[in-house]
Amino acid sequence: MKFRHRDINFPGLSDFNMSLRYIESEITTTVSPIGQHIHDDCEIYIHLEGDVSFMVEDKIYPIRHGDILITRPYEYHHCLYHSKSDHKHFWILFSAKGNEKIFKRFFEREKGVGNLLSLDSEKRQELIDICFSLCERSESDPVPYYRFFKLMNLIEEAGDGETGENETDAMSRVLKSIHQNYTDKLLISRLAEESYVSVSTLERKFEQHFNITPHEYIKNVRLTNVARMLDEGRSVTESAEACGFSDASAMITFFKKHFGMTPLQYKKRASAHL
């Protein structure tokens, strides 16, 4: 794997920092090295090359050269690999707490909607050039500011990409059902029935797309929403119950394994960033 990396701090804004990576990966398996995940920052993915699509919440977006995928804090997302072709892209992560009004394209939309953006060919190349220039060191302090907000301006100008279409009707139905009903008791047999496929077919499709079982996917969606509620200041027990966990102690075990810290530690970290 080859990548360039730069961290930039913007002291003029509320706790603002940005991390940008240009990444070239030699893909040897169609299993994503980074599974379904969330974080409390905003993310920008800019596609350059590779046979991939991008999943956000219950949508799977087809992507082409120069397409932009944006996610805000606590949007469930990851990249899906369809073949072993090389993968080249930019990955940008930046803080947003206290700055939400500045980044309207990220926050003034519904969760899981409007994630795919597209520019015309000229502006697409301008976007890519800006990203490469941000990877380079500059002795002039205003330059990174200028380049970053020029990039943000292009994102504000971008049009909506192709409508997010799931790769099969069955996957569309089951993902939508999970994300809308994760607080309820979800039976895999019922999900398969609603999607007009067998349980074995549904399990095979989840293994193919996400490298996990439907049960694990549901658990991860619930944990994602527990983290969101903890960040909003809700208690551990309240968050567990609201997100479909009947056993709070079991949720704590799952949470620690998934996030690398206990829910209480996560809650304290989130409070420290306010």
List the chain domain ranges. 2-160, 169-272
Residue closest to 60 by CA, chosen among 196, 169, 212? 169
CA distance 167 to 126: 30
Question: To the nearest 10°, the Cα dihedral for 233, 269, 107, 18?
Answer: 170
Give one word for 199, left, alpha or beta, with left for phi > 0 and alpha for psi -120 to 50: alpha
Provide the pLDDT confidence category of residue 88 given band limits of 50, 70 and 90. Answer: very high
pLDDT at 137: 73
Provide the pLDDT confidence category of residue 66 given band limits of 50, 70 and 90. Answer: very high
What's the pTM?
0.72
Average pLDDT of the chain to the nearest whole number: 84
Task: Examine the pLDDT at 142 and tell me if it is beyond 80.
Answer: no
pLDDT at 99: 80
173, containing H or E segment: helix 169-181
Same fold, 2-160 and 169-272: no
Residue 117 — φ and ψ, nearest 5°?
-120, 155
Q: Kind of pairing, strands 42-49 and 68-71?
A: antiparallel
Give, in degrees to the nearest 5, the angle at Cα 51 between 152 and 224.
60
What 8-state DSSP symbol labels residue 41? S
CB count in 10 Å sphere of residue 139: 5
Query: Which two tokens mark 84?
Result: 């072993």
Provide the pLDDT confidence category of residue 162 given band limits of 50, 70 and 90. Answer: low
**What kind of architecture, by CATH, is found in domain 169-272?**
Orthogonal Bundle (1.10)
2-160: what fold?
Jelly Rolls (2.60.120)
Q: What is the mean pLDDT of residues 212-228?
A: 91
Distances (CA, A) of 147 to 22, 29, 41, 143, 207: 16, 35, 20, 6, 40
pLDDT at 5: 63
Helices 214-231 and 248-259 cross at an angle (nearest 10°) of 90
pLDDT at 57: 87
Task: Examine the pLDDT at 9 and tell me if it is beyond 70.
Answer: no
pLDDT digits over 163-215, tens only?
545 445 667 788 888 988 999 988 898 888 877 778 888 888 888 777 789 99
For the ranges 40-49, 119-128, 207-216, 257-266, which has the lowest average pLDDT? 207-216
pLDDT at 25: 83
